[in-house]
Structure formats: structure tokens, C-alpha cells
Amino acid sequence: MTEALVIGAGPAGLMAAEAMAGAGLRVTVAEAKPSVGRKLLMAGKSGLNLTRAEPFEAFMAAYGDRAGHLRPMLAAFGPDQVRDWAEGLGQPLFTGSTGRVFPRAMKASPLLRAWLARLDGLGVRIRTRWRWTGRDGRGVLFDTPEGARALAPCVTVLACGGASWARLGSDGAWAAHFPADVAPFRPANMGFDIAWSAHMAPYRGQPVKGVALHAGRAVSRGEFVITASGIEGGGIYEVSAALRDGAALTLDLLPDLGRDEIAARLARARRGDSLGNRLRKALRLSPVKSALAMEFARGAPDLAAALKALPVPLIGPRPMDQAISTAGGLRFGALDAGLMLRARPGTFAAGEMLDWEAPTGGYLLTACLATGLWAGRHAAA
């Protein structure tokens, strides 16, 4: 008999399974894909950023207007607890210069293997290629390689992900089961399209470092990358929510210099120098920064001011399925304080299927783990 069911074998689902199995429940995890933790493994390809080493209030600020909903969960299982948990799985960690915390292996696979071994030791059963299709009088229904199956758990934790990266399992199809309780999905942590001129073609794939990105009240000092169709990367992700919601993007190409100092340096440049030479010699701008200035500041009446607030016209965000994460999902108003659906007693939800968003940099994964643990503990109780 299955006492507890988890639907979705990403970080939130596996953490819910661990919490319930640790409380003595017999747990089955149903995963639609052929293997578990696919999005986690993909994130680990560029270095698995588990969490962040920073003051708790600064950490909470990353969650914007959803911080109040997530606060009790992150207070119970925040950055410090994530570090203890990962090290308890035999994964030594290190903290980078920006406060990001990574496994020394810089991959997700060793951590996931150790985690699955722990779950196996707790008796958790994982069933892959089990796609959730709904409910009826027999219980929770699945399409499986062996045909239709029905389970009748005492409690269920849903951890079905958001609506991006469908090939990894997060397709948002589960939302059809809760039409009245789901906020529309929107892309989060995504790149943006720009109508580059041919002048920018040589700079495709190059990182832009040492800038400040401004979008409304959102500011980022992260770097980003020039792509064939626009811009991508951590710096743009930090302000992507504001850009998606209508704010304009400006770049401060010289955030450590004031406008007057920039103007003075430009004034000392040799007469007759081209704009490119003035930018390179007087301001020591990198080639890619100079290219951006040439693209968007040529002819500006006040070049120094333009370099401090370079307007970057965006066409719009990249498609949602190419976003790292999504906003939208199950509204917190549809859930009680333990993340149980008010309309479905005994059914809980966790992870990216909840209506919250945060920038990359450890915030996403920490909140997925924290909400999974919270839902699992309340389901077990």
C-alpha cells in the first residue's frame, strides 16, 4: 500500500519524499520522464549553484512580493540548512566571490546519486514513465509502461514544476487540473531579443562584464552575453522580471565612474579621433562595450550621460519554453499555511508549480528544496 505519493521527481518532489519517508510513511514517487532530476542535472552542467551565502534579509529580498509567503519555509530551510544538507550527502562545498555556493564537484550528478541512495535506504519507491492523468473514484490515475494504474494514497504532494523546458519535464500541463487556482504562466530568468545591426555580428558569444543593468527599480551588476538574437545571462536574468513587466533597460557601461569624470576624460581625447578611438583610449572600454556604445549612443548630444544610461531597445522576451523558470502557477490563496490545497484536503504542492519567482544564483533551488520539505512535513503530520 502507498501511504504517501509524490508526483514529480525534481528537487522539490524528492525533498518532500525524504521528509515523509523520514517520518515513517511508505512513499512512492511518480515521475513522467524516464529518469529523475533532469532539470537539476541540466543546471549542474554550468556548475550547480545550490544557494547563496548572504544575510537572510538580503536573501529574502530576491523573492520580491512573494517573500512573505515563502519566509516561514526559508526560515526553516534556508541557505545554512541547504549547505548542511548537501554536506550531509557527502558533497564538499565552496563559496564563490559573489557569495554563490557550489559543490566542489561543480556538478549535480554526485549529489543526486547520493540523495537517491539515501531515499532508497528510507524505502522510497521511484516509478519513472508514470504520467499523472487525473483522479477518479479509484484514486490518482497514471499512464505507465504497463498500462493505466491507480493509486490511493493517504496524502499526495504535487511537485510538477513550472512551464519551461518541457523536454526536461516542466510543461505546465498539470494546470488543466486546477483551472480556477492557477495564475497564468510567464517566462522568468530569460533572455531578450534585440534587433542588432550587422555591426554587432563579430561580438556574438562575447560576455559583457563590469556594467550595471537598470530596469525600473531593479539593478544588476552581473554580466551577460551577446547572442545572435539579443542578450542572455545572469545579469539580464536579475532584471528580467522588471523588463518582462514593461520597464525599459539601460546600461551603465562605467558604473565606477561618474558622468563628470567620463566627460572630462572624453574632453582630453585627441581632436579628430573617431568615436571608437575615443572610447578605447580615453575610457579604456573593452571592444564589446565600445560596440554597444557605437550601437546605441552614436550621435547622442551628451555622450558621457549616454554611457551612464545607455538605452537598449528590446523586442521582447525569449519564448517561455526557453526560460530557465516561470512565474505563475498555483496561487498561494488556494493553499493553506502548510501548502495543502484548500479544495483538496490531503493534497499538497511545492516547488516551481507555486506562484513565485526569483533570479538565478541559488534562490530558485533553495526555495524548491524549502517548499518541498515544508509540504512533505505537513503532509506527514
pLDDT averaged over every residue in the chain: 95
pLDDT tens figures, 2-53 = 799 999 999 999 999 999 999 999 999 999 999 999 999 998 887 899 999 9
- What is the pLDDT, as a whole number, of residue 234? 92
What are the pLDDT digits (tens) for 237-246? 999 999 999 9
Tell me what the mean pLDDT of segment 200-219 comes to. Answer: 96
How much is the pLDDT for 15?
Answer: 98
- Contact criterion met (CB below 8 Å) for 50 and 103: yes
CB atoms within 10 A of CB 174: 24
| pLDDT of res. 269 | 82
Nearest to 188 by CA among 165, 217, 214: 165
Write the pLDDT tens digit of every residue in 259-277: 999 999 999 888 778 888 8
Residue whose grid cell is 533572455: 191
Q: Is the separation of the CB atoms in 40 and 50 below 8 Å? A: no
Domains, the chain, ordered by start: 4-186+319-380 (3.50.50.60), 192-316 (no CATH)
Query: Quick one: how far is CA 131 from the chain centroid?
Result: 24
Q: Determine the average pLDDT of the residues in 87-114.
A: 95
Residue by residue, DSSP assigns 80-145 as HHHHHHHHHTT--EEE-TTSEEEETT-SSHHHHHHHHHHHHHTT-EEEES-EEEEEETTEEEEEET
- Using alpha carbons, select from 22, 25, 23, 24 the residue that is nearest to residue 5: 25
pLDDT tens-digit readout, 345-361: 999 999 999 999 999 98
pLDDT of residue 43: 85
Output phi, psi for 323, to 5 deg: -75, 150
The answer to whether 368 touches 5, Cβ cutoff 8 Å, is: no
